[in-house]
């Protein structure tokens, strides 16, 4: 399928430069942008496996909250330790 799109000169220049930086022809670069955008998952789609796991775990909201807060504390602790070693 062929589609014609009118672009202003600056946008065309930016697209051509981006294609060149990626080592591909403009049409190939445009196809990759379109494909990437069309394959982008919604937040609901990304969270579906997590929601399913939580539902199957039989965790209460309080237990889930405690679990997530524990992970957050661990990540923060690891970041502090990494900064203190640097």
Q: Name the residue range of residue 19's domain.
A: 9-39
Q: Is residue 4 part of a domain?
A: no
Q: Is residue 66 part of a domain?
A: yes
Q: Are 25 and 16 in contact (CB under 8 A)?
A: no
- Determine the average pLDDT of the residues in 35-59: 92
Residues 57 and 25 both lie in one domain:
no
CA distance 24 to 19: 5
Say if residue 11 is exposed, middle or buried (CB neighbours under 10 Å; 0-12, 13-18, 19+). Answer: exposed
Indicate whether 4 pLDDT > 80. yes
In the prediction, which pLDDT does 86 show? Answer: 77
Indicate whether 15 pLDDT > 90. yes
- Determine the average pLDDT of the residues in 29-40: 94
Indicate whether 27 pLDDT > 80. yes
Residues 75 and 56 both lie in one domain:
yes
The tally of domains found in the chain comes to: 2
Q: Is residue 1 part of a domain?
A: no
Q: Enumerate residues 6+ apart whose C-beta is below 8 A from 20.
A: none
């Amino acid at each position: 399928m062929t589609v014609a799109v009118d672009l202003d000169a600056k946008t065309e220049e930016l697209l051509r430069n981006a294609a060149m930086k990626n080592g591909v022809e403009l049409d190939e670069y445009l196809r990759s942008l379109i494909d990437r955008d069309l394959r982008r998952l919604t937040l609901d789609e990304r969270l579906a496996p997590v929601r399913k796991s939580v539902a199957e775990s039989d965790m209460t909201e309080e237990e889930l909250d405690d679990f997530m807060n524990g992970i957050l504390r661990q990540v923060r602790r690891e970041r502090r330790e990494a900064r203190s070693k640097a």
